[in-house]
């Protein structure tokens, strides 16, 4: 798909996500807006996945380590055809399989349960090592938040991935500079992230995480380096696409009222007009 086609899909995902948060009265909309372009590029451009065969042994894998943004993943999976689009309306309702954090035993396309931060990258390292041992060509992608990178387990996994020369592994850091209740810089400042990861023996690239051309290029297999895992530091905005949410820490898990919902939908509808 072209960057323009991908932008249209991302815009649809943002609108459906906003509607679902408003209707459910809960969600993590700020981080969902920041990660949407990354998810769109992965599922509609980069990854080899088939909604008709979600457990294909040769599929590429995505681990959404920042599992609190599960709704963005659900909407993306629905748009791709893994689950019915109509099912998004059940988000967080009793007996719905669309919980606040993704569950691989319930939702086709979800590779592992996530939510406790710092777990996704270690799991992805295990997946990538399994592919390496089997001589398989499938790739593993993992998305973490930048606040999540304060977890020590991530840095242990980063060391292991370099030791094992997992060039089939790509870590994408959703670097929106905000975490729950505060700015990352005011909590445990990791910036600049790129040289820290590079020092562990990774190939690192920094991009605009809302520029489809840059995202797709950074995730392409030809941009990897033999024997090195890759890290993409994606500079994003929390609440991307909605003016009053953008770069606003209050929207980590705030729910829009009716006026805010209508304004947000209006802004998203105008985004590509």
209-226 pLDDT, tens digit per residue, is: 999 999 999 999 999 999
How far is Cα 188 from Cα 125, in angstroms, rounded to an integer? 25
- One-character DSSP codes across 67-87: GGGHHHHHHHHHHHTSS-GGG
Question: How does 254-273 read in b/e, with b if 16+ C-beta sit within 10 Å?
Answer: bebeeebbeebbebbeeeee
Q: How far apart are the first and last CA of the chain?
A: 19
Residue 173 belongs to what H/E stretch? Answer: strand 169-175
Please tell me whether residue 64 adopts helix, strand or coil conformation: strand
In the predicted model, is pLDDT for residue 272 greater than 80?
Answer: no
C-alpha span between 143 and 128 (Å, rounded): 14
Compute the distance between CA of residue 201 and CA of residue 229 in angstroms, rounded to an integer.
8
Q: What is the pLDDT of residue 271?
A: 87
pTM comes to 0.97
Domains of the chain: 3-270 (3.40.50.970)
Tell me the per-residue pLDDT of 7-47, one tens digit each, with 9 for 90 and over: 999 999 999 999 999 999 999 999 999 999 999 999 999 99
């Amino acid at each position: 798909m072209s960057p323009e086609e991908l932008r249209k899909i991302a815009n649809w995902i943002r609108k459906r996500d906003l509607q679902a948060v408003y209707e459910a009265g809960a969600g993590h909309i700020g981080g969902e807006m920041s990660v949407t372009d990354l998810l769109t590029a992965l599922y509609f451009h980069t990854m080899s996945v088939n909604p008709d065969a979600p457990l294909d042994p040769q599929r590429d894998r995505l681990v959404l380590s920042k599992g609190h943004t599960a709704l963005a993943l659900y909407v993306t999976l629905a748009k791709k055809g893994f689950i019915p689009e109509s099912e998004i309306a059940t988000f967080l309702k009793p007996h719905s399989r669309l919980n606040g954090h993704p569950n691989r035993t319930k939702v086709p396309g979800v590779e592992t349960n996530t939510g406790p931060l710092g777990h996704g990258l270690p799991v992805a390292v295990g997946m990538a090592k399994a592919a390496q041992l089997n001589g398989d060509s499938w790739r593993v992608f993992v998305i973490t938040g930048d606040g999540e990178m304060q977890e020590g387990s991530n840095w242990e996994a980063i060391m292991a991935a370099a030791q094992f020369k997992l060039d089939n592994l790509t870590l994408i850091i959703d670097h929106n500079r905000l975490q729950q209740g505060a700015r990352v810089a005011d909590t445990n400042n990791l910036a600049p992230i790129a040289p820290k990861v590079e020092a562990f023996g990774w190939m690192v690239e920094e991009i605009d995480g809302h520029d489809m051309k840059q995202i797709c290029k950074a995730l392409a297999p030809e941009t990897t380096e033999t024997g090195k895992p890759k890290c993409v530091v994606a500079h994003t905005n929390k609440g991307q696409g909605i003016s009053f949410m953008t770069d606003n820490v209050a929207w980590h898990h705030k729910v829009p009222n009716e006026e805010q919902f209508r304004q947000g939908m209006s802004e998203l509808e105008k985004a590509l007009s």
